[in-house]
């Protein structure tokens, strides 16, 4: 059992949990994630690590409610426990002094981009960060990102905060303004990472994306998280989750993440019905249409 020592909403449907997990806290590096299971009948889902405190033995994770498991998770509070938390999984981000790095965080992906941005800054890079969200309420970790960036740009889809538009608009501007960019790191929804990769491919800017396929064990055993890289299968949990964005087949990732959509919707509906029956109303907003376990990171 892993005790939640602090739980707090960062935005509607997006919650941060500080969990007691001393082993994970000691080893966690930027770019890695955990897999968790809330209760005995629960599924295993990969979740973003925002950061960790090795001294206190705690790990901070950020979860966006999308399907049943994440909705249930976001109903947990300080003092509750999570049955299983395993990690840190995946290869850490490759941190070096590249020169100028643009770190792009989309939605809840910002939570995963943040420790990488911080590490890149510590390694001496000039870090230009762009974070994007659907609207003002969903912008997360703004002050944290600002603290580790030489410049921070924010976009919202509806223009309710900062600049209206997409993260790619900002990236395009940077490129058009002739800024020298040595590396782009993009973490967020698949469409965003794909758009970023397409933009930087033309400019020949090395681009790293963090992939979020469906996963079970997270140790390479099951092969469920296979992604197509340069036409070949690689496993996101042991070979990734970070890959060269120019080599990733994003269509296959979208297609494979849709594999259980019917089951996920059924699971969510069952859950809502039961929940509604018990509590007459549901605290958390309903599932996003793209609800699925693979989209957590």
Partner 1 sequence: MSPTVKKSSNPVAIKDRMKVPRQLMPEQAAEERAHNFEEVNLGYSPLLAQQEAQRCLECAKPTCTDNCPVGVKVKEFVELVVEGKFLEAAAKIREDNVLPAITGRVCPQEDQCEGKCLLSKKVKPLGIGYLERFVADYEQRMGTHVVPDVSPTGKKVAVVGSGPSGLTVAGDLIQKGHQVRVFEALHEIGGVLVYGIPEFRLPKQIVREQIDYMREMGVEFETDVVVGRTVTIDELMYEEGYDAVYIGTGAGLPQFMNIPGEHLNGVYSANEFLTRINLMKAYKFPVYDEPMLDLKGKNVAVIGGGNTALDAIRSALRLGAAKAYVIYRRSDAEMPARAEEVHHARQEGIDFQMLTAPVEFLSDGKGWLTGARCVRMELGEPDSSGRRRPVPVEGSEFDLPLSVAIMAIGTTANPIVQTTTPGLGTTKRGYIQASESTQRTTRKGVFAGGDIVTGGATVILAMGAGRRAAASIHEYLTTGEWEEAGQEKVSSK
Total of chain residues touching partner 1, rule CB under 8 A = 45
**Cα separation of 47 and 293, whole Å?**
9
Q: How many CB atoms lie within 10 A of CB 72?
A: 16
Q: How far from 132 is each of 38, 145, 192, CA to CA, in Å?
A: 29, 12, 10
What is the x/- site pattern for partner 1, positions 233-272, by CB under 8 A? x-x--x----------x--x--xx-xxx--xx-xx--x--
Check residue 224 for interaction with partner 1 (CB under 8 A).
yes
Contact 182, 228 (CB under 8 A): no
Q: Give the neighbor-by-neighbor strand order of the sheet with 33-37.
A: 81-82, 2-11, 14-20, 58-64, 45-53, 33-37, 84-89
Choose which of 16, 170, 194, 226 interacts with partner 1 (CB under 8 A). Answer: 226
Shortest Å, Cβ 254 to partner 1: 9
Check residue 216 for interaction with partner 1 (CB under 8 A).
yes
**Cα separation of 34 and 237, whole Å?**
10
- Closest CB to partner 1 among 118 and 227? 227
Choose which of 31, 218, 241, 245 interacts with partner 1 (CB under 8 A). Answer: 218
Contact 188, 105 (CB under 8 A): yes
**Cα separation of 292 and 70, whole Å?**
9
User: Could you say which residues in the range 3-32 bind partner 1, by CB under 8 A?
Assistant: 23-24, 26-27
Check residue 37 for interaction with partner 1 (CB under 8 A).
yes
- Closest CB to partner 1 among 89 and 119? 89
Contact 156, 164 (CB under 8 A): yes
What is the x/- site pattern for partner 1, positions 61-80, by CB under 8 A? -------xx-----------
- Closest CB to partner 1 among 56 and 266? 266
Q: How many CB atoms lie within 10 A of CB 132?
A: 28
* Block residue for tokens 């762009």: 130
Check residue 219 for interaction with partner 1 (CB under 8 A).
yes
Residues lying near partner 1 in the complex (CB under 8 A):
23-24, 26-27, 37, 41-44, 68-69, 83-89, 216-224, 226, 228, 232-233, 235, 238, 249, 252, 255-256, 258-260, 263-264, 266-267, 270
């Amino acid at each position: 059992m892993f005790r939640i020592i602090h739980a707090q909403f960062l935005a509607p449907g997006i919650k941060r949990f500080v969990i007691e997990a001393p082993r994970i806290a000691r080893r966690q590096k930027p770019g890695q994630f955990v897999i968790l299971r809330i209760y005995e009948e629960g599924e295993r889902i990969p979740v973003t690590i925002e950061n960790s405190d090795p001294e206190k033995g705690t790990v901070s994770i950020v979860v966006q409610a999308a399907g049943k498991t994440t909705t249930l998770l976001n109903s947990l509070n300080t003092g509750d426990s999570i049955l299983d938390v395993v990690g840190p999984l995946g290869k850490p981000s490759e941190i070096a002094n590249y020169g100028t790095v643009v770190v792009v965080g989309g939605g809840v992906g910002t939570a995963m981009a943040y420790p990488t941005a911080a590490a890149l800054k510590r390694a001496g890079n000039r870090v230009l960060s762009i974070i994007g969200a659907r609207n003002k309420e969903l912008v997360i970790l703004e002050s944290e990102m600002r603290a580790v960036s030489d410049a921070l740009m924010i976009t919202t889809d509806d223009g309710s905060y900062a600049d209206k538009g997409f993260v790619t608009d900002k990236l395009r501007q940077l490129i058009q303004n002739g800024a020298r960019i040595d590396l782009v790191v993009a973490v967020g929804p698949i469409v965003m990472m794909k758009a970023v990769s397409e933009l930087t491919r033309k400019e020949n800017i090395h681009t790293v994306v963090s992939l979020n396929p469906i996963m079970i064990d997270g140790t390479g055993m099951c092969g469920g998280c296979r992604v197509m890289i340069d036409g070949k299968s690689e496993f996101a949990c042991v070979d990734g989750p970070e890959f060269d964005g120019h080599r990733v087949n994003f269509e296959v990732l979208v297609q494979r993440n849709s594999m259980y959509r019917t089951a996920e919707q059924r699971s969510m509906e069952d859950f809502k019905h039961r929940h509604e029956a018990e509590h007459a109303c549901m605290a958390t907003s309903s599932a996003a249409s793209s609800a699925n376990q693979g989209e957590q990171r």
